[in-house]
Amino acid sequence: MSGLDELTRDELVLLVLELHKTVQEQAARIVELEAEIARLRGGKSSSDGLSVKPGVVRKEKVQRKKRKHSFSRRRLAPTRIVQHAMESCPDCGRRLEGGSVKWVHQVVEIPPVAVEVTDHVFVERRCGVCRKRWTPDAGMVLREIVVGKKSVGINLMSVVAELRTACRLPVRQIRKLLGTLYGLKISAGEISEILHEVARIGEPRYGDLLKRVRGSPVVHGDETGWRQDGENGWLWVFSCPDVRYYTYNRSRGSVVVTEALGEEFAGVLVSDFYGAYNIYDGIKQRCWVHLLRDLKALAEKNPDMPEVVAWTELVRDVYGRARESLRRHGTERERRMTRESFEGELLGLSEPYVGATNSPQQTLAKRIDRFIGELLTFVQYQDVPSENNAAERAIRPAVVARKISGGTRSAKGSRTSTVLRSLFETWGLQGHNTVAACRQMLIEANNPAQPAPA
């Protein structure tokens, strides 16, 4: 017992009193420390000396919106109905009659189809009265079947253009697919000629798309690298709500913006901060997504500098409040004053760092100061978005195609690629079936009397 059995009664009582006093002091100290911990955590301490964890704020449970349907495949309108019923009883062999539907099992299937080769034979006949010989007009008979004197049908041409442009398949894969599914043997050269022919027929519509872009109140612009015959160039896109126009140029300079928009365009140009778009003298809106991304990178690069992180949060807060202001549909004067107010806040945040060469905020502060008149256009003109996502989405398919094919091999190939991409992306943007739209365009090319719609 560590010598306790040798102590007298009075000594033991004294020891117990000292231990009791020590326990009380330590219990009081524990309560103080737990109270301090609870204060730092935002919680409370209990009166009995036991710590209480900070209360968890429970969100009000929101009733989940019921789905209109499950994740199973929706039933389609059947093109064929096959009824399955037993003719006789398996036990006694008696003939079964009548009955009711027990269940329906719908199967979606693609029937195997072989390539169809048709010889169109034109027979010449003679009139027995006037002695003249007559042969059907090939152009009228075949106007919805083939373009001109080609041996490849309009449907096949449309599918090839779809596979190459919308599906981004290389020519070799198109050959393989057509051979596997339809048993069609076609050369890579013939596929290229089909694409060139579809693009040639689509040239008038391609020009109409540019006119519609120039007449749009808001246009988004972007560009990405594109290789032609092994040399670097640039693929540009100019997009509005229902049109996407692509063009290739060796240059990334402002001359492309001038050529594309022309003198007719008088709307708002939405773009990133690339200098080529500065050539446009009209109203501009710079992309906030790019600026927010750079603000985030600045904060992540300087986590040990609270003033830098706080500055980025203040800039983001101005943008957030500017977005919130769109909910208030004020007059044109009120929207203009709101824009000027937010511009003043941004200038106030950027001015202290514009000349501070050693400040991490200097680069973005100088950008805000330079483009201050083009950052909050969306506040005054509420049909203008604050970001350039429309152009980013439009250029993404071309980026994927570039990674697959590496680019084009000639100027003719680049022209074909941009024409077809403009047509197919526009058709898709407008909600059309792109193969059917291409087929209709080829049919209308055989009917010059009817002007083709834009």
Give tens-digit pLDDT for 378-393.
Answer: 999 989 999 999 999 9
* pLDDT tens readout for residues 163-194: 999 999 999 999 999 999 999 999 999 999 99
Q: Is the pLDDT of residue 454 over 50?
A: no
* pLDDT tens readout for residues 311-347: 999 999 999 999 999 988 889 999 999 999 999 999 9
- The CA distance from 417 to 415, in Å, is 5
Q: Is the pLDDT of residue 35 over 90?
A: no
pLDDT at 352: 93
Structure-block tokens of residue 138: 């090939």
The secondary structure of the chain, three-state, reads CCCHHHCCHHHHHHHHHHHHHHHHHHHHHHHHHHHHHHHHHCCCECCCCCECCCCCCCCCCCCCCCCCCCCCCCCCCCCCCCCCCCCECCCCCCECCCCCCCCCCCCCCCCCCCCCCCCCCCCCEECCCCCCEECCCHHHHCCCCECCCCCCEHHHHHHHHHHHHHCCCCHHHHHHHHHHHHCCCCCHHHHHHHHHHHHHHHHHHHHHHHHHHHCCCEEEEEEEEEEECCEEEEEEEEEECCEEEEEEECCCCHHHHHHHHCCCCCCEEEECCCHHHHHCCCCEEECHHHHHHHHHHHHHHCCCCHHHHHHHHHHHHHHHHHHHHHHCCCCHHHHHHHHHHHHHHHHHHHHHHHCCCCCCCHHHHHHHHHCHHHCCHHHHCCCCCCCCHHHHHHHHHHHHHHHHHCCECCHHHHHHHHHHHHHHHHHHHCCCCHHHHHHHHHHHHCCCCCCCCC
Q: Is position 353 within any domain?
A: yes
Residues 6+ apart with CB under 8 A from 99: 85
Q: Is position 114 within any domain?
A: no
The Cα diameter of the chain in Å comes to 153
pLDDT at 449: 56
167 vs 75, residue with greater confidence: 167
- Split at pLDDT 50, 70, 90, the class of 447 is confident
Q: Is position 368 within any domain?
A: yes
pLDDT at 277: 97
Q: Is position 232 within any domain?
A: no
* pLDDT tens readout for residues 225-283: 999 999 999 999 999 999 999 999 999 999 999 999 999 999 999 999 999 999 999 99
Nearest to 208 by CA among 454, 5, 408: 454
CA angle in degrees (0–180, nearest 5) for 442-443-444: 90
Pairing state of beta strands 284-286 and 268-271? Answer: parallel
Q: Is position 352 within any domain?
A: yes
Q: Is position 300 within any domain?
A: yes
Q: Which domain holds residue 377?
A: 288-387
Q: Is position 104 within any domain?
A: no
Using a cut of 0.85, tell me whether the model's pTM lies above it: no
Q: Is position 303 within any domain?
A: yes
Q: Is the pLDDT of residue 452 over 50?
A: no
In single-letter form, the type of residue at position 286 comes to R
Q: Is the pLDDT of residue 453 over 50?
A: no
- Split at pLDDT 50, 70, 90, the class of 69 is low
- Split at pLDDT 50, 70, 90, the class of 17 is confident
Work out how many domains the chain is built from and give that number: 1
Q: Is the pLDDT of residue 46 over 60?
A: no
